[in-house]
Chain A
Amino acid sequence: MKRLFPILSILTAIFLAYALYQAWWVAPTDAQQGDVYRIIYYHVPSAWTAFLLFFINFIASIQYLASAKPSTRTAAKWIVTVVGVVGVIACFLPAVQRLIPAGMRPSAVATTVLLIPIFYFVIGWLFPGDRLDVLAVTTAEVGVVFCTIVLVTGPIWARPVWGIWWAPGDIRLTSTLVLWLIYVSYLVLRRFSNSAQTQLLAAALAVFGALDVPLVYFSIWFFRTQHPQPVIGGGGSMDPHMLHTLLISWMAFLCFAFLVCWSRFRLELLHREIEEAHAMESLAGAAAGASLPLSRSVR
């Protein structure tokens, strides 16, 4: 594993350089915006990566909350399975299809719904026990970094195109800012609270915070906003070369996010190991002070 990380880092760096080359020199110039539109190749992949990381955080938090008792764990498994099956079937019913925004394919919605049980079981299998909580804090922190990039590159793009840095009251912009604030508060809670209930409280906050993600994503479908209407999966059109470059850029950022998450995950594990060692030292010190054998005092 230690050898794999540098190899993957070099491959990701090459991939990112290739994505940059595609974005700057291969993708055609936009007829209306000129070259400044190329911000899309960093802004949109960062947003999609942040959404994916917050989604993983949501699934890991639900798993962590459900793992408190065997009965809730079983109930959660059944609920997630039912949500997946019913959700996929519902997407193809005419009554439900009328609720799906114009231009959005029911099969795309069904696939997204299907990802909930798939992610739930895969994450539960790969990250047993307390590792779910480690995964939750990892994805929240890296997700906040990507969301910060969205909030910084968005106004830089808006200024030359809209003539303003920020559109006050715009639901896409405001909901993204709220999403960022929710996850920053999640990280602040985890950083500064020493209560035994911190992990449970943080998991509950993450579940409610994740509800903002669909609001951010669908806001441009349901509301009239300053932010452009969707050009992918929303009935709009995009030059195939531009779309190709956008997807390459997203893949490169996904690889980069994976490596950053891997590092953050290892950091969190190391942090917990040291905390445990400190706790054991304190116990040993207390046991020695009370002249008790350590084995008895730990029990």
Chain B
Amino acid sequence: MNAVKFLIAAYVATWVIHGVYLGSLVRRFRRLRREEREVGKGK
């Protein structure tokens, strides 16, 4: 039973890492879109 905790921990850790990375991509996309609009206004 104890070993199953390790199994769940490994699967959860995998998706947490992917989630954090995908979150960082979304944040960077939003920041760049904002910058893109600002550059567009400056023209």
Contacts and interface: CB of A to CB of B under 8 A. Distances in A.
A159 B7 CA distance: 11
Nearest to A23: B11
Query: Interface residues of B toward A: which range?
Result: 20 to 34
Interface residues of A, number: 31
A36 B32 contact: no
A42 B11 contact: yes
Interface of A: 20, 33-36, 38-39, 42-43, 46, 145, 148-149, 152-153, 156-157, 159-160, 256, 260, 263-264, 267, 270-271, 273-274, 277-278, 281
A260 to B, nearest CB: 7
A35 B14 CA distance: 17
A36 B36 contact: no
A206 B21 CA distance: 21
A267 B29 contact: yes
A273 B25 CA distance: 17
Interface in B1-43: 2-4, 6-7, 9-11, 13-14, 17-18, 21-22, 25, 28-29, 32-33, 35-36, 39, 42
B18 A156 contact: no
B22 A260 contact: yes
Given A36-B7, A271-B32, A278-B39, A145 B25 contact: no
B14 A42 contact: yes
A34 B39 contact: no
A157 B4 CA distance: 10
